[in-house]
Homo-oligomer: A and B are copies of this chain.
Amino acid sequence: MASLPPVSKPKRPSPLLSIPFRQPQNPWTPVDILNPEQVEQLHNASMEILENTGIDFLDDEALIIWEKAGAKVDRAARHVWIDRGLIESASASAPVEFEWYARNPAHNLHIGGNTLTFGPCGGMVYASSLEEARHPGTLADYENFLRLTQMAPVVHFGPWEQVTPQDIEVSVRHLQRLRSGILLTDKVLLEAAHGRIISTDNIALAKIAFGADSPPGPIIGDVINVNSPLRYDKRMLGGLITYARAGQVTMITPFILAGATSPITMAAALAQQNAETLAGVALTQLVNPGAPVLYGGFTVDMDMRSGNPAFGTPTGAWAALAGAQLARRYKLPYRGGGGLTNSHLPDAQAVQESQWMLWSAIMGHANVLMHSAGWLEAGLTASFEKFILDVESLAIFHDFFNGFEINTETLALDMIAQVGPGGHNLGTPHTAKRFRHAFYESTINTRQNNKSWLDAGGLDATQRAYVIWKQWLMEYTPPPLDPAIREAVEDYVARRSKELENVELYMD
């Protein structure tokens, strides 16, 4: 473990904190790795899977919905065959783009089109930092991640169980999590769509958080994972149906490990992903036509030596690029994965793999990239230093998509002539007017020469990230919240905590 550098109140705030909150627009054409015929090959294969092999839906209400819609259903086997006409007609009502509302309207999100949206890591069971090595996540860890998420302008969502508060009883954990999320952030809410009880609580609490303001669209959402291959379990279906019925957001995402939960070949993995995702998308629309939903992909390879998922490999990049292309075929927003890595530390491997997943997904025009800040160890650990390293990376993407202008003023032929051969532009009026804001200003990445860097302690990037998150926590202030709303949130949590004491919530 690297040594802990001293932390004092910063002389000036991190440049990262002064970036305005906004979603970058990717103005360039997507990198298409499939030709149109290949897109149709994958489409047709996935339709054959749905028509001939079918999918398990382990939930009675879901089976009834499919039956009513005209699918062939085997109630006893809880299995459904869906023909392509039904998939197509049902999916057609899914919105191409939509607005997603935050408690603070400045943090509302637009999902779809050329818009990029970055989410923090979610569902991690351990927390780690240079200060306290990998340990089971606590409510204190979770709340610190919420504070950092709220402060980072380039992270667009608020709470998403950045780390599981394992010191809170399972039966009331969702209530405590969303309570903290509402009190400590005012960005768009993500909370578990896990079964009907939890999902109903989450929607109720989210509504309380908005008080008298009832926005005209979704205020909460979550990822719906498919138990690949070809199975939706009761817990996920309860979440899907509850969120979709309430007009809240679902991001349908099979977790495909090629070679384990799908055949090992990428063509098969993508055809299966497409079948699974589209079945879920169609179900949301049968529940509630027009419900906001995303086409999700998270296909990676299984490492044959360890049996673990492998992140930051060509497979994951192909899947991200092809997945986004498939989503475009169906006119659905695409949800991928951002800063994914197998690394146990916020080190060179962690960044190498995270950059792979980010660049490929972004070049493919993903719309929502979850797990873009803090993720380590194949999704088991949330790292405070990795969170900050990732935030700097996202900030660079924000700036990148601003592009640059070409006009008479910026071409500055007069200045080029005036400075002439062998001159320099340091003191020109053209430079003086612009130098403060011309370039991306880094927070973590140092530009110092060797002596200055050594004089400043000779810290590596991870140690510098440690200093930053500690300083941010010193500077954090919670977003304003109407005391009446706060009281209503506390009341709801207290009442439901009592009701749910010792209730087993896993599937219901």
Contact = CB atoms under 8 A, between A and B. Distances in A.
B260 A424 contact: yes
A41 B411 contact: yes
B49 A413 contact: yes
A420 B304 contact: no
* Copies of this chain in the oligomer: 2
A48 interface: yes
Nearest to A407: B267
B304 A411 contact: no
Contact of A352 (B271, B303, B392): B392
Interface string A410-431: 1111011101111111101011
Contacts of A303: 439, 447
A418 to B, nearest CB: 9
A305 B421 CA distance: 25
A45 interface: yes
B259 A438 contact: yes
Interface string A266-297: 11100110000000000000000000000000
Interface in A440-484: 440-442, 444-450, 452-453, 458, 460-462, 465
A505 interface: no
A356 interface: yes
A265 B349 contact: no
Contacts of A313: 396, 399, 439-440, 442
A345, A377, A452: which has the most chain B beta carbons within 10 Å?
A345
Ordered nearest first, which 7 A-B pairs have the shortest CB separation? A355-B355, A303-B447, A349-B461, A267-B410, A56-B421, A348-B461, A266-B404
Interface of A: 2, 28-29, 31-34, 38, 41-42, 45, 48-49, 52-56, 79, 134, 227, 229-231, 258-268, 271-272, 301-306, 308, 310, 312-315, 317-318, 342-353, 355-356, 359, 363, 377-378, 380, 389, 392-393, 396, 399-400, 402-407, 409-413, 415-417, 419-426, 428, 430-431, 434-436, 438-442, 444-450, 452-453, 458, 460-462, 465
16 contacts: A31-B363, A52-B413, A229-B422, A259-B431, A262-B416, A262-B425, A264-B430, A266-B410, A267-B405, A302-B439, A308-B447, A308-B449, A314-B440, A342-B447, A343-B446, A348-B348
